Amino acid sequence: MPQALPIRVVVVTMYAPGFETAGAHFGEFRLWAEGLPLPELVPFLCGFRELRHNAEKGVLGVVTGAGTARAAASIMALGMDKRFDLTRAYWLVAGIAGVNPHEASIGSAAWIEWVVDMDLAFAIDAREIPADWPTGYLPFGKTRPYEQPVEEDAAHRSVYRLDPGLVEWAYRLTVDTPLDDTLALQAARARYDGFPAAQTPPRVLRGDEVSGSTFWHGALLNRHADEWLRYWTGGRGRFVVTAMEETGTLQALSFLGRAGRANFPRVLVLRTASNYSMQPPGVRAAESLRGETLGEYSGYRPALEAAYRVGRRVVDELTGHCPSTPTCPRRPSSRRASVRNCERYSSLARCCGKAAADPAAESPRLEPSFGISVSGCASAILRARRQGLFRATAPAPWAERATALGVRRDKAALSSGCKSHPAIRSSRKQSEQSWR
């Protein structure tokens, strides 16, 4: 049986009408499959769609399917797949989103630091709420909207924070990326009179995301999303985009990190604006929503192009050499900070050419490793291998490439090209989530 195939970068997309490349309408994955490219088809019976692989670059592409449930299931299935060694892989989530017109314009690309779950809540129909309530959505365990204090256990369920240093590195690397500014984009943003940010040309920025499986639209829900994100992040987050899948994807990756199957501090989320999250002045929300159907979003094609164009620069950098981060994270000064950041400090410090700190003195308690095999998925994969179902357009089949590489997991070079480091080998030292 071949050794696990080391993966440098996993490109995660959510929506694709199919892997066929014919036709004018396409989803988030097609540009990656054709442009990177990802020529090899890999069966993925436990996931939403087949995987795509580029053996030379060490890049794996996955389509999770739309919505939190499909995203969580697909990422968990991929993480448990013993054909791949993902312990040192970077994960790039790249997809379209709604954008807050108070912060940016359609066609823009946002690197995300904070992701807040918008699904986990109490809810009362707005027609039945007290007159002094701003919304019918309440945090779990609370009796009023945005009631303080924020419970730490509740925040742990609802909030994900990506590595700020890695997010900043990706932003600085791509901030000057030219983005399309079509006549259609100019016409759409001209309607947002009184929204200066919505009328600016597309750009790359940093921001934060509310995530939920409901496609909502309108000024009142937009205000709620802004206040909801600020509530859960203690005022540190800034609502820029709204998307569907990140809570499922990040939850799966945090669990996989606990099991030593993934490295949560190496996750990046890039969301590009295909539509505004609320109506322009003088238009009703229902009328505005009718114009924002799937595939006909006002900025759909430019957003797809932006996700690939901006994300591609990061993928090329990660697969070419160790990322030249602008600054190293500071040494954690407390045990609580160390639990979240000790591994991040060590891994990024060596990329900056500085000596990595030894986090052993403040390392968190390691959780036990439970079984990581899923019998049904493993059986299906074994059957596919025996039946010769691995298909590839590259000169050598995927399975033969995996056998030829034969790189042992514990001795493989880091995906970025750096030498192995003890802090990365023990990926279980990372926290389940980093939310504060």
Q: DSSP readout, 53-104?
A: EETTTTEEEEE--SSHHHHHHHHHHHHH-TTEE-TT-EEEEEEEEEE-TTT-
What DSSP letter does each residue of 328-394 carry, written as one string? Answer: PPPPP-SHHHHHHHHHHHHHHHHHTTSPPP-GGGGPPPPPPP-----HHHHHHHHHHHHTT--EESS
Does 362 score more than 70 pLDDT?
A: no
What confidence category does residue 388 fall into, taking pLDDT thresholds of 50, 70 and 90? very low
Q: Name the helix (H) or strand (E) containing 169.
A: helix 164-174
What's the pLDDT band for 153 if we cut at 50, 70, 90? confident
Q: Predicted confidence band at 293 (pLDDT cuts at 50, 70, 90)?
A: confident
The rounded distance, in Å, linking the Cα atoms of 218 and 239 is 15
Q: DSSP string covering 48-66, please?
A: SS-EEEETTTTEEEEE--S
Q: What pLDDT is stored for residue 401 in this prediction?
A: 37
Provide the 10 A C-beta neighbour count for residue 235.
Answer: 9
- For 95-107, what is each residue's pLDDT tens digit? 999 999 999 999 9
Q: What is the mean pLDDT of the chain?
A: 78
Task: Point out the least confidently predicted range of 147-161, 199-213, 255-269, 274-288.
Answer: 147-161
Q: What pLDDT is stored for residue 16 in this prediction?
A: 82
Among the ranges given (12-21, 182-191, 197-206, 350-359), the one the predictor scored with the smallest mean pLDDT? 350-359
Least confident of 75-84, 124-133, 252-261, 374-383: 374-383
Fold of 5-429: Rossmann fold (3.40.50)
Angle subtended by helix axes 164-174 and 300-320, to nearest 10:
110
Q: Which of the pair, 252 or 390, is modelled with greater confidence? A: 252
* 359 vs 164, higher pLDDT: 164
What pLDDT, on the 0 to 100 scale, is given for residue 15? 87
Query: Torsions phi, psi of 81, nearest 5?
Result: -75, 115
> Which residue pairs, CB below 8 angstroms and at least 24 apart, start in 81-84?
81/44, 81/46, 81/377, 81/381, 82/4, 82/373, 82/378, 82/381, 83/2, 83/4, 83/5, 83/42, 83/381, 83/402, 84/4, 84/5, 84/7, 84/60
Confidence (pLDDT) at 151: 85
- SS3 label, residue 192: coil
Q: What is the pLDDT of residue 348?
A: 37
Of residues 36, 34, 30, the one with CA closest to residue 49: 30
What is the pLDDT averaged over residues 17-29?
68
* Ramachandran angles phi, psi of 385, nearest 5°: -65, -40
Q: Per-residue b/e over 176-207, b at no fewer than 16 CB within 10 Å?
A: ebebbbeebbeebbebbeebebbeeebbbbbb
The domain segmentation of the chain, as residue ranges, is: 5-429
Handedness of CA 413, 415, 417, 420 (dihedral sign): negative
The band of 431, judged by pLDDT with boundaries at 50, 70 and 90, is very low
pLDDT given at position 18 = 59
Q: With bands split at pLDDT 50, 70 and 90, how would you rate the model's confidence at 23?
A: low
- In tens, the pLDDT along 187-211 reads 999 999 999 999 999 999 999 999 9
* 170 touches 111 (CB < 8 A): yes
